Amino acid sequence: MNKQLLTAEQSIALEKVQQLFADWRNNRTGRSRIPDNLWQAAADLHHAQGLSINKIAHSLRLNHTVNSFPTVPLYHLKIPPIVTFSEKIMSLLNKIF
């Protein structure tokens, strides 16, 4: 089994988000949906820290059912856009000329 080794920064970031989820689970009433700010924190672990989706889901005790997904479309999350190499080159050329 190939386990993802975490850097110190990744480990600290993951522990912070785990604590946010633990606090929410301990204080929520009933079976409320996961708030958008927690989804954003989980998305940041993937996009900013480079953790795998599987690692995040397992560590945050998230399952794959439809009930786990955010109540708002994912495009509301602040995920950095993917810029292709050609787009980057064109952007640089536009700044020069």
- Angstrom CA distances, 41 to 28, 37, 60, 87, stand at 18, 6, 11, 28
Of the pLDDT bands very low, low, confident and very high (cuts 50, 70, 90), residue 80 is low
Helices (DSSP H) in the chain: which residue ranges? Answer: 8-27, 36-47, 53-59, 85-96
The burial of 31, by beta-carbon neighbours within 10 Å (0-12 exposed, 13-18 middle, 19 or more buried), is given as exposed
Segment 52-79, tens digit of pLDDT: 888 888 899 887 544 444 544 554 555 5
Segment 8-50, tens digit of pLDDT: 899 999 999 999 999 999 999 888 888 888 988 888 888 888 8
Q: How many Å is the Cα radius of gyration of the chain?
A: 17
Confirm whether pTM is higher than 0.85: no
Res 81 pLDDT > 80:
no
Give the H or E element holding residue 28. Answer: none
